[in-house]
Chain A
């Protein structure tokens, strides 16, 4: 048996998710009714038989730490190996993680103590089901020093990814991180296998390079390829999503409500594990009308739910309609509301007769980069007063209270932020 250790990069901010990641790390963002993003990668690890996992955290780690805890839901509470959370620390090289490569570099001692043959570098914010044994087998078969999982993407989206060009043997001969003019559509999925000694050599080289940004995609992998090392591309054909933007977050959640969703959560042989609060099953009242939706434990649904993902413990009042929306854990929606094309975060309280997501779309007055679609987002712990009318592409921040609203209309593109 080859020894494999997985390192999950979970320190990212995920700026483009706006208020959803204002207070929590991106891997802790809720997904699919009961999960958080990191659950998919963690479950892939244990389903692939990898029981030694390090999670590198940095940005707002509390919720993530709390979620992972000792790794019990994933059977990662073990005598040997198991899960280790690796925050930045003092007394070593430098303190804060300067980039993905630097984060691994700072934990060389941790990896060395496990003495693995291969290190699997993963990202904590992707949604996919992958048997890592396949990529490791491929890596061994090719006699590679490094292997990068990749997938063909539409060429117009290619400039969002690390793009590679391979020879006929799948050896990577060129690699560009987020190129303005991509020369291929073979995109890196941010899933790497390296021989540990080989990786250590390059991490050290990278650390000593003053001009490096210490990032795998920008610096370390291009350097390996420039020096003609044996780096191969493993083609992955399953479902994989980087829910990096509000639009893609909303879309990939709603994909789960389709008759045959591209990501199969129901595969008994490839379960996704998570840490959840104990709640009774969902209750659908006589007045409820639910179609094409995912409705989780602890929900009490009295209204209409269409094409939506409803997380645990959500209560939806009578005569309320929730359509094409994502409603996160323990949010309470009153009566006679209409919520459409919205993402409502955790523990929000919405009063009666509230309308969200109606009107003509307008550009965001808060941040055109992040809020560039028609989806309205409500941050966690906010309280929405009765009778409020909210347009499209609006932002209601975290912990906003009734007093923060100056009128009972928030026009499309508008925003209300809470007072800190």
Chain B
């Protein structure tokens, strides 16, 4: 079975505020060394997908820098490999991607060329680990036209922010986007699997008529095609849902069972290498319940926090319940609590940053 992977990584997200002022949400750093897109991309590669298109639009620089030639995912290949699909200017004018279906439609060449029979469409914003080969088997054994990944969402998800699905057996009978009063607790996870030629047909038919959203197209087919829901039981979160969700995801990395699921089951999560030395924890340090990444030097107190690569916590500094991104420096005597510090932030001696009702956020290169 040959599968083409497509990753939607172009969307804008106001909910993430300063964290996305210089990057796409798919390029958000998570768990100390990863970017959000690493999860979907690694899941695809681990399932044997050798050709992946990444659809970007909003602030793509850091995403493109991160993915490079796809080397870390073994996607720097003569056949297949990684394709960055940017909106572009042509003789017919220029177009931004108007929606998910439109984005794929504008890159029809990638679908037309190549010998893949199926397309797996994911999002760069989702944090999860899955064995996609089970989805492929499910699709075939159910004789589905389209398989959507769904999950029973507990109370930690705000159901009115998700597509809510109604199932009859395996078959999806209705999908309502962001309902005020959700009928079920089953949410659509933004992951589609279908026959490539079916997708091409749908795109040619609907995008040309002005329907630019892929989910709307699928919804319009529910009574015509066999659309099945694959119930995913594992950890799944969407970084794009806002700062508190982003913070929560990072903190979930401190839970053993979540680390085991994400990093040690069904293959690895790959990311861009940085060649930092291992972290050093000094004589004056106190480190409890933390993720500490390569290149860190910790001499202060750090509790319940995620330290990304190259973070420097100097002696006497206190960091609690915080997410500290790459190359941020926290100087002597500073206090950081309930905060997200973006990359290359400098917290000077004796300064205090304490998030009280909500999480305090400092943007990239801020100095306090």
Contact = CB atoms under 8 A, between A and B. Distances in A.
Contacts of A282: 278-279, 291-293
A381 B270 CA distance: 26
A281 interface: yes
B248 interface: no
Contacts of B2: none
Nearest to B277: A265
Interface string A270-287: 011110001111111110
Given A271-B275, A272-B277, A284 B287 contact: yes
A294 B99 CA distance: 48
Max chain B C-beta neighbours (<10 A), residue from A257, A290, A296? A290
A285 B275 contact: no
Contact of B283 (A271, A273, A291, A297): A291
Nearest to A276: B273
B271 A293 contact: no
Per DSSP, chain B at the interface is loop
Contact of A281 (B31, B287, B297): B31
Contacts of A286: 288-289
A296 B288 contact: no
Given A259-B283, A296-B294, A280 B31 contact: yes
B292 A295 contact: yes
A5 B34 CA distance: 37
Max chain B C-beta neighbours (<10 A), residue from A257, A280, A288, A291? A280
B290 A284 contact: yes
B316 interface: no
B290 A283 contact: yes
Interface string B229-262: 0000000000000000000000001101001001
A166 interface: no
B112 interface: no
B283 A292 contact: yes
A330 B32 CA distance: 20
B268 interface: yes
Question: How many A residues touch the partner, as a band?
Answer: 35 or more
A256 B275 CA distance: 17
A287 to B, nearest CB: 8
A34 interface: yes
A295 B254 CA distance: 17
B263 A279 contact: yes
Contact of A291 (B31, B273, B285): B285
Contact of B269 (A72, A256, A280, A293): A280
B280 interface: yes
Contacts of A379: none
B295 interface: yes
B281 interface: yes
A295 B277 contact: no
Contacts of A256: 280
B209 to A, nearest CB: 45
Interface string B296-308: 0100000000010
B280 A294 contact: yes
Contacts of A283: 254, 259, 290-292
A284 B287 CA distance: 7
A259 B282 contact: yes
A323 to B, nearest CB: 13
Interface string B348-359: 000000000000
B33 A280 contact: yes
A32 interface: yes
Given A259-B282, A259-B283, A284 B292 contact: yes
B278 A284 contact: no
B78 to A, nearest CB: 14
Contacts of A293: 280-281
A290 B33 contact: no
Given A259-B283, A292-B283, A293-B281, A278 B290 contact: no
A279 B294 CA distance: 11
Nearest to B327: A268
A281 B275 contact: no
B269 to A, nearest CB: 7
B278 A32 contact: yes
A257 B292 contact: no
Nearest to A291: B283
Given A266-B297, A278-B271, A33 B278 contact: yes
Contacts of A285: 288-289
7 contacts: A33-B278, A280-B31, A280-B263, A283-B292, A294-B279, A294-B281, A295-B292
Given A272-B275, A283-B254, A295-B279, 5 more contacts: A278-B268, A283-B290, A284-B290, A292-B282, A294-B280
Interface of A: 32-34, 72-73, 256-257, 259, 265-266, 271-274, 278-286, 288-297, 300, 312
